[in-house]
Structure 1
């Protein structure tokens, strides 16, 4: 998913960042989750803590929360924080046993040292890191871990690259990595790892997934319809995607850093 390469124009970035709420239900249905292995890697530095308290920051509709539950965390040990009320409502509907709060990375509604890990799925590139990193440091317990995860279409695969071009998404897997995370006194070093992933799709559901990406959400309706029709035509004519279900190859990029005391 290619939202992690925002336009350089601050106004466009702001529109893209605020665009998801109007498609919250579609986002929940259509977006991929994250590989269990990537989430376990993110939590590895604190895996021995019991209970293991995890904050899903900028949680959206709960794609990462879903994986945390799947790998065995107790719902009472997960807190989800999300600024968009529509996305938050969808998360609460899907995971009523998880504590879900309205809040931002730059103003987290938790006490000091409240969690052992802060995870952000498909989100850290939207943060104001100068404000968010000190705030994340504040809510982390000593020795806690901060980790970001991003799903990226693997456009080393030719048909995936062409699909990206037709969707007018110019982010390139070959050029893109998680935004350069600054070395700070709070988080002096980030480790990185990549994980193979896939999303089972059809031509129609693939286009629906692309429709939940921020570069599509801010288009006016005639332009959006033009892109959708172009993509459907391409996918229905391409051997790898023309008949029934197929796997969209993804790479999940992960970065983690320990809280410096």
Structure 2
């Protein structure tokens, strides 16, 4: 993805911050435990923290959390949801923390936006020796027939390569590496996924998909047409006629600092 397009997509969420906070899922606790399992301690940086979807799970697990988020509207939602958490403006490329101050850096649905040529050294700087970097993604289980149908109707703007069980590993395996030839600062990646789910209605699932970056940047008429197609598909699908559990998995990419 070209830099200008990546920046445009990454900066699209602030306009939908309240909807993001309301509709995006949290992360499977077992996935977060696995991400943290080799970390030297529980001082954790939630990087690109958004509205605090991962922050809440980290707090529940007893971590000492610093949350860093570049978008003011998203950061405001995070502070509203988790007022006791230290939440700071900043980015993966400019982390407002001291050297060797955290045991783990976790990023929920965010690592794909990082410029790792710059963010890699910054993450390594704030980690203690042997610290953990982990990216987490909530992905839909496209082994379920109606989810596969939803993927076809939605297109890549709403359900992209990182968003499905069948493709998330390939799409994220190298995201800890810079896009240029800078030497790697992290060891070999490990990946795992953990069952998850979210209670939804057809309307709330449409609202969830409307918070995807590819949908947020669409021209208004095109966005409305896409969401209308998704809504019509869900109305015609027996599994989504009433309240239902959206079949998700939380996928984790974990690496240790060299």
Same fold (TM over 0.5): yes
Q: CA deviation at 1:9?
A: 4.4
Moved more, 143-152 or 30-39: 143-152
Give the aligned partner of residue 70 of structure 1: 60
Report the alpha carbon displacement of residue 68 of structure 1 after superposing the two structures with TM: 0.7
Matches of 2:197 and 2:123 in 1, distance apart? 30
1:247 aligned onto 2:245: yes
What is the distance in 2 between the residues matched to 1:133 and 1:198?
31
Which residue matches 2:8? 15
Give the CA deviation at 1:192: 1.1
Who is 2:48 aligned against? 58
Mapped partners of 2:68, 2:160: distance in 1: 27
Which runs of 5 or more structure 1 residues have no equivalent in the other structure? 1-7
Q: Are 1:39 and 2:32 an aligned pair? A: yes
Matched with 2:168 is 176
Whole-Å separation in 2 of the counterparts to 1:131 and 1:112: 15
Unpaired segments ≥5 residues, structure 2 = none
Answering whether residue 86 of structure 2 is matched by residue 99 of structure 1, we say yes
Are residues 1:128 and 2:111 paired?
A: no
* Count of aligned pairs: 246
Q: Which moved more, 1:209-218 or 1:177-186?
A: 177-186
Structure 1 runs (4+) deviating above 4 angstroms are none
Counterpart of 1:109? 96
Check whether the contact 1:125–1:179 (CA below 8 A) recurs between aligned residues.
Answer: no
Match of 2:217 in 1: 218
Task: Kindly report the root-mean-square deviation, in angstroms, between the aligned alpha carbons of the 2 structures.
Answer: 1.6
Instruction: Rate the CA distance shift 1:185–1:12 in 2: closer, same or farther, 3 A.
Output: closer
Bigger mean CA offset, 119-128 vs 249-258: 249-258
Separation in structure 1 between the aligned mates of residue 167 and residue 184 of structure 2, nearest angstrom: 28
